[in-house]
Chain A
């Protein structure tokens, strides 16, 4: 209990207090305590066919205002729909039964959240109840696809056949990229190799067997889905009566359009480096 010792104790005490004060500052001023605070809440279920990037503890919003959070996400046993439990604060207990739960994305690249749009039913949804009307997430690719004529899902059911095509420039096309016709995925890119003799890119397209009536004078083009999307091969059907067969080569090809060229064309009204690639596929 001598003097210097008690001054240690006081200093140490001050240090500990300062440390905890700093922790309290970090926790309350710089982090989302409000997002974690769980007041009295009740749970409502909603089922979605596709939850996209929705994560647990993502916000639930009504009219853009946070009313709760996603408690759990699980696949409903025996089916292919996602069962999402929404934990909503007790204060907001007047949500009509026929409200629509939708998965939104905040901004173009932001996080996803569940938005509830009120319905008109008199009855409020009960704790543990089900929001029957839901709208699943809209993948950005699909949305862009609607604008740019691309989109869809690859299904590989009935086997496939391989067709070759050579391009002067494939851009960032890589193996596994989709092959589309009329915007629908009909196959995928099997391989992309540079030809050592012809000095262009040899692309092998693997097309689903179901699409066996593609005319053999169809052209293949490398497109980009959206502004920042990935590249894919689009097949534009020709008019020949003979169909493409396994091992055939597509003669008419159109190389990848560089975004820089494209913008240049708009801005300079015809860029100096205008090169027509269409139809220069070689035998």
Chain B
């Protein structure tokens, strides 16, 4: 991992090299999982940092996504006299698409960048080399706990996001716009399927996004040039690469899961 990648002028081959290195890094990470169980406390600490500390932004964003979605749908559906279906449409669109994707984008911005910057600075300040000196495996102690924490945190955050979106939709639809409370819930429960919408939509998608975002964040941190400029670029690249990967993967997953 630490080997300097050869300099390529070609953008394509540069990108391919990055993807290849990232794949190899994933294998190293997975191989280090059994060893990282020794540092379970570190995983917990990371879970606190990437998960629990992201709750505020996730909850606020979920609330507003649900609210604005309900507002928009209400006005469109009222043209057809179908406002009673708006709760159901909010639930389906949040579970299948918006929940996992928006949570993953926020997660990349809130937690992914922090992870990259932290690991990048560890490398820049030679803490990683120091660990190697002390016979502490930096992959098992630094990278894998952060990766696992992201993997665990994303589905949980996505569930919180979806619940808040439903709450926001209920707030706008029932409390403000006057959709009947009973119709709101019964339409939703009639159409939302626990398997296709909640397991496949919320859980599976967010798990995949969690893996991709954490992998990119940790990889960028580990391979950053050990300079302050390098850390800055690595942080940017984490957000850019994560966003592209999330949206592309979302399309592929939807095509397969539908």
Contact = CB atoms under 8 A, between A and B. Distances in A.
Contacts of A35: 193
B155 A19 contact: yes
Contact of A31 (B51, B55, B194): B194
Given A5-B41, A31-B192, A32-B194, A22 B156 contact: yes
B198 A31 contact: yes
Nearest to B49: A8
Contact of A11 (B41, B48, B160): B48
Contacts of A15: 47-48, 51-52, 55, 153, 156
Nearest to A8: B48
B192 A18 contact: no
Contacts of B48: 8-9, 11-12, 15
Interface in A11-39: 11-12, 14-16, 18-20, 22-23, 25-27, 29-36
A35 B198 CA distance: 14
Contact of A27 (B45, B52, B185, B198): B198
A54 to B, nearest CB: 16
A38 to B, nearest CB: 12
Nearest to B162: A26
Contact of A36 (B91, B153, B185, B195): B195
Contacts of B203: 23
A26 B193 contact: no
A15 B155 CA distance: 12
Interface in B145-172: 152-153, 155-157, 159-160, 162-163, 166
B192 A19 contact: no
A110 to B, nearest CB: 10
Contacts of B152: 16
B95 interface: yes
Nearest to A16: B156
Contact of B198 (A11, A14, A16, A26): A26
B166 A18 contact: no
A19 B192 CA distance: 20
Contacts of B162: 22, 26
B190 A32 contact: yes
Contacts of B185: 29-30
Interface residues of B, number: 33
A26 B166 contact: yes
Contacts, number: 88
Contacts of A14: 52
Interface string B186-201: 0011111111011000
Contacts of A19: 51, 155-157, 159-160
B202 interface: yes
A32 B190 CA distance: 6
A25 B202 CA distance: 13
Contacts of B198: 23, 26-27, 31
B44 interface: yes
Given A19-B157, A26-B162, A26-B166, A12 B44 contact: yes
Contact of B159 (A8, A11, A22): A22
Nearest to B166: A30
Contacts of B44: 8-9, 12
Contacts of B194: 27, 31-33, 36
A36 B189 CA distance: 12
B118 to A, nearest CB: 15
B257 to A, nearest CB: 16
Contacts of B52: 11-12, 14-15
A25 B45 contact: no
Interface string A26-63: 11011111111000000000000000000000000000
A113 to B, nearest CB: 12
Nearest to A35: B193
30 contacts: A8-B44, A8-B45, A8-B48, A12-B44, A12-B47, A12-B51, A15-B52, A16-B47, A16-B51, A16-B152, A16-B156, A20-B156, A20-B159, A22-B156, A22-B159, A23-B155, A26-B95, A26-B159, A26-B166, A30-B91, A30-B166, A30-B188, A31-B192, A31-B197, A32-B189, A32-B190, A32-B194, A33-B194, A34-B189, A36-B193
The 4 nearest A-B residue pairs measured at CB: A19-B156, A15-B52, A22-B159, A31-B192
Interface of A: 5, 8-9, 11-12, 14-16, 18-20, 22-23, 25-27, 29-36
Given A16-B156, A30-B189, 19 more contacts: A5-B41, A8-B45, A11-B48, A12-B45, A15-B51, A15-B55, A19-B155, A19-B157, A22-B163, A23-B155, A23-B198, A23-B202, A23-B203, A26-B95, A29-B166, A30-B185, A34-B189, A36-B194, A36-B195
